[in-house]
Structure 1
Amino acid sequence: MEFLIVTGLSGAGKSRAVDALEDIGFYCVDNIPPKLIPTFYDLCAKAGNTFSRVAVVTDIRGGDMFSSLFETLDDLKNEDKHYRILFLDANDYVLINRFKETRRKHPLAENNLGSLEQAVKLEREILRPVREKADYIIDTSFLSPAQLKERISNLFLGDSSQALMVHCVSFGFKYGIPTEADLVFDVRCLPNPFYIEELKHLTGLDEPVYSYVMKWEQTKGVVQRLISLIDYMLPLYCDEGKSQLVIAIGCTGGKHRSVALAQLLYDHLLENGHRTSVNHRDIQK
């Protein structure tokens, strides 16, 4: 049985993640108290193939009951009940805006005299230990619902216990480093097509920009070393049992150089049989 525990910050997209999981065959239960998770696990296991893929959501809405999550995770591990954790995250500014736009009430707002900023800060601190335990972390700050669904599908449509999923993401440093990144590469040292008038408004997915970025000796040197390093490290991550690796490649605006390099890395990994996906986070900005 594939058993997934979904948690994360309020407003980070857990409901949309559950919708995506249901679409690819998971049986999902929302807002389950942590102490009930082992019992529910046993019931699903006894049902055999009826519940071969299960996802449960537990989060701060459970109030004081949520504090038992870490004890529950230890119990599951001690009883050799296999599970994985999916953690949904987003930056504070985005979370606060989402609550303001939807006029939803944050679960911890009353404990912080109605301060949304303080509620988000407190929740992040409470959830920090479980984020550190997570097998998968998805930062939804700049993901559309469709992109989140695609990311979920890429992670879980295959047999995640059998292979490492490598997610390549391009980004612009001016918009912030992706918080879920395991490896970050800065390619601002490469020649910038932004200063070429006919290339300025194109992206790294357009052939003229891609060719411009790749023609330089500096780029060829970076590509050679980047590919060699990633090829060397992937088997090591697999041996450690890592389920997801997020490789972030950044340039100034996330539209030209980082896009070209992230796409090249994605194509290389795909050619070599790795489970991989790519997302150009800031390409439209």
Structure 2
Amino acid sequence: MTKIPPLPEADPLRPGDERQFFAQQKTRASKAPASSDAPPEQHYHGHRDRLRARYREHGDAALADYEILELILFRLIPRRDTKPIAKALLGRFGTLAGVFGAPQHLLQEVKGVGEAVALDIKLIATAGQRMLKSELRDKQVLSSWSAVINYCHAAMAHETKEQFRILFLDKRNTLIADEVQQRGTIDHTPVYPREVVKRALELSATALILVHNHPSGDPTPSRADIEMTKLIAEAAKPLGITVHDHIIIGKDGHASLKGLRLF
């Protein structure tokens, strides 16, 4: 029987152990002296500096939406070219508002966006909503109607399921509370007039603004929306509670049932 001589042992490496091999190669490479032929710095580092300088000198008007998103992603993803990720996010969700309004699990479906990045994007969105909501504090809501619409749009326009929100007001029409009462499906939210009125009494509210979203994007009121609004208004009126309006939020606009004279 012919014996096969053993292979020379250049490295104490078990056969087939590729992970150890590559770890050794990486260690050796790190110990190698620096060479004048080393690869240049990644191209996106200079791009980041130029983009920051353009924003610093000219403000947001000098940047496209994807570049604004890039600037944010620089902090969240420090060692990658973030332009393809920014463009992929806008391609998936359409607008900056769509990106920040998207659910976390859908953000993570975009290549390059992990859980930590998705959470940070949602944190930025929350900060924006809080900023808009702060514009309503200690003000008569009916005289700050554009602020109400901006806040509700930021909070609800890109939700994938219907939610029913109530703004509770005091006798000066100042905001007491802002609460999501119900969450439903993509085209329906169960609302119970008795529960709405009960909560208003608990908060000593004297007026309400009802708000809900249409995930389809079309804010046109349905017959069910109109009937539900009338039921709440009729239940609240004998108790001295006024329903000022019912606002329906779509992706690109809103509808006011009071403005349309539907209740």
Question: TM-score, length-normalised on structure 2?
Answer: 0.30
Higher relative contact order (CA 8 A, sep 6+): 1
Q: Specify the structure having the higher radius of gyration (Cα).
A: 2
Normalising by structure 1, report the TM-score: 0.28
Higher strand share: 1
